[in-house]
């Protein structure tokens, strides 16, 4: 599996690393891809591609993530979307809007994960519960 993510202030990276650590404890091999930094990869060479982003101005998807989507050039069926946001920037309507947009774009069959700012503390459980669901779902369709 691979986790591709974009982060400016570290929140989305914290989620990405939490996902990585959890999967590795489960014996799963995991690569990390820093969007805009690491060399392109082929999504079809992985069982699952986790894609993580924060949400920017008025619900926007960051340009680096749009470039990443463009670089992939097609809509892989194995995308799992997660992200961080902040409800102070427009309330529930705009909260993690980029996550919703990407999930719809890819027609992802997995539920999305939305974390408010840092995943440390009370939201950590949500990350693990979500991951369990994703893995269970992926196995039942394998």
Ligand X SMILES: Cc1cc2nc3c(=O)[nH]c(=O)nc-3n(C[C@H](O)[C@H](O)[C@H](O)COP(=O)(O)O)c2cc1C
Cβ 6 to ligand X shortest distance, Å? 7
- Select the residue whose beta carbon is closest to ligand X and give its number: 85
Cβ 90 to ligand X shortest distance, Å? 5
> Which one, 110 or 114, has the nearer CB to ligand X?
114
Q: Residue numbers of the site for ligand X (CB under 6 A)?
A: 7-13, 54-59, 84-86, 89-90, 94-97, 117
Q: What is the CA radius of gyration of the chain?
A: 14
> Which one, 42 or 120, has the nearer CB to ligand X?
120
> Which one, 43 or 62, has the nearer CB to ligand X?
62
């Amino acid at each position: 599996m691979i986790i591709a993510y974009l982060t400016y202030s570290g929140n989305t990276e914290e989620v990405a690393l939490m996902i990585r650590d959890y999967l590795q404890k489960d014996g799963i091999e995991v690569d990390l891809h820093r969007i805009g930094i690491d060399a392109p990869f082929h999504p079809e060479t992985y069982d699952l591609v986790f894609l993580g982003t924060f949400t920017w101005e008025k619900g926007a998807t960051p340009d680096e993530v749009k470039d990443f989507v463009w670089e992939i050039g097609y809509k892989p069926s194995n995308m799992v979307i997660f992200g961080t946001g902040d409800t102070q920037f427009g309330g529930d309507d705009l909260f993690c809007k980029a996550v919703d947009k990407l999930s719809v774009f890819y027609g992802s069959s997995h539920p999305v994960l939305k974390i408010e700012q840092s995943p440390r503390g009370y939201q950590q459980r949500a990350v693990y519960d979500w991951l369990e669901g994703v893995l269970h779902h992926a196995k039942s369709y394998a």
